[in-house]
Amino acid sequence: MAAPEQCVILAGGLGTRLGDMTKQCPKPLLLVGGKPFLSYLVQEAIRFGFKRILLLAGYLSDQIVVFARDIAQDLPPGVSISVISEPAPMGTGGALRFALPQLDEQFYLLNGDSWFCFNWLELAAVASSQDDWDAVLSLRTLEDTGRYGVVRLDGQQVTEFHERGGGGPGYVNAGVYLLKRSFVASFPDKASLERDLLPMQAVAGRVLGVPTHGFFIDIGVPDDFTTAQDSVPKQLVKPAVFFDRDGVLNQDRGYTHKPDDLSFVDGAEMAVKRLNDAGYYVFVVTNQSGVARGYYEESAVTTFHTEMQRRLRSLGAHVDDWRYCPFLLGAPLKHYDRAHPWRKPEPGMIIDLMTNWSVDVERSFLIGDKPTDIEAANRAGIEGFVYAGGNLDQLVGDILSA
């Protein structure tokens, strides 16, 4: 089953605990590390492969509309962002009910004032193995749950919610959800998703929970808002793995470009998911001289990558970004007939990704199957590993554990 492609973000809260800071600015747009906090959530949604981003606004909604309009200019091709403004405070459940006509059959939901950094697609992977559910929650394990409500879990089923207090270790709701539209259709016009609706469905056995670990920040109180100024930008700095494509991630059938010809090598999907779960960026860097030779057009490369991403996301994995080089010196098509700094063994694709993403270069590496891949890695200042067949996940596991 394909993973959902819509990400809905709740951005309508008053932010009263932040005092004067939110009198003239909605909480999700407060600057964190010099950028609106909401921009980090949008960036995360995009890198996890979500194509439709919907912001549910309320308080000072006109500013959310301007934010969406401005950020839309820089979105990748195929990604859209839109805003729905509730006419009056309706609670988180009421805001979703109001947005019902624009909700997909399944969609992700985020709180606009918190960020939980884990592999979001794990929720969809768990949901695909279950039949009867209305909501899947991300749960974070804490040694001290005193500030938060506690979630009780029996296997993968959430059995009950408890109000904050008591402390001690346990699971807390981390604010990333996978929901069904049919569940939202049952909501009243005004209600709280967290306090009213999810506890009711948990009693009915319709709520799943996925315990996981990762960086978590809620900017809704002054101390955490101050902490976020440094911790959030630092969290973007991650090691990266750069994969060659044909012969490494997918079987090389000779200028492979048709989605029907896509066949992953043994262990490729799990290798990507392992890296996603471990907090690595996953990038693809591939020479595509078939374009320069006239075998297929550049649009075919994008279509092939879209299919790769679709299949990976259905298993809870994803590629963060892609680079390809269609140029070849001496190519039959004159437009592509030139040496290019992106064509391996030149390091241009790797360097471009390092420029556009916050990459921890010292901990990053490349996996390829040709000497040109390894040379490109070395020129970019990272280590290169040769994939010579076998299980790709095992190779990745060996590299990470070395």
Q: How many domains does the chain have?
A: 2
Question: Domain check: are 214 and 289 in the same one?
Answer: no
Would you place residue 208 in the very low, low, confident or very high pLDDT band (cuts 50, 70, 90)? very high
The pLDDT score that the predictor gives to residue 356 is 96
Question: Domain check: are 219 and 122 in the same one?
Answer: yes
Q: Please say which residue of 235, 263, 289 terminates a domain.
A: 235
> Which residues partner with 246 through β-bridges?
250
171-208 core/surface letters (b: 16 or more CB in 10 A; e: else): bbbbbbbbbbbebbeebeebbebbeebbbebbeeebbb
Query: For 213-307, where are the E strands, in sequence order?
Result: 215-218, 240-243, 281-287
Q: How far apart are CA 229 and CA 247, in angstroms?
A: 42
The pLDDT score that the predictor gives to residue 7 is 98
Range(s) of the domain holding residue 280: 240-401
Element (H, E) at 107: strand 106-111
Question: Domain check: are 297 and 364 in the same one?
Answer: yes
Question: Domain check: are 346 and 317 in the same one?
Answer: yes
**CATH number (domain holding residue 379):** 3.40.50.1000
Calculate the average pLDDT of the chain: 95
Crossing angle of helices 222-235 and 37-47, in 10° steps, is: 40
pLDDT 10s digits, 132-185:
899 999 999 888 877 777 899 999 999 988 876 567 788 988 999 999 999 999
**CATH number (domain holding residue 46):** 3.90.550.10
Residue 379 lies in a domain: yes
* Arithmetic mean of pLDDT, 323-337: 97
Q: Please say which residue of 235, 261, 279 terminates a domain.
A: 235
> Which residues partner with 208 through β-bridges?
136, 157
Question: Domain check: are 226 and 197 in the same one?
Answer: yes
pLDDT 10s digits, 78-109:
999 999 999 998 999 999 999 999 999 999 99
Instruction: Give the distance between the most distant pair of CA atoms in the chain.
Output: 72
Q: For 297, phi and psi rounded to 5 degrees? A: -95, 165
Question: Domain check: are 84 and 213 in the same one?
Answer: yes
Q: Is 239 helix (H, G, I), strand (E, B) or coil?
A: coil
Question: Domain check: are 99 and 177 in the same one?
Answer: yes
Query: Over 70: is that where the pLDDT of 360 sits?
Result: yes
Catalytic residues: 244, 246
Residue 20 lies in a domain: yes
Query: For 129-169, where are the E strands, in sequence order?
Result: 135-142, 150-154, 157-162
Residue 368 lies in a domain: yes
Residue 1 lies in a domain: no
What CA–CA distances, in Å, run from 3 to 127, 317, 380?
10, 10, 34
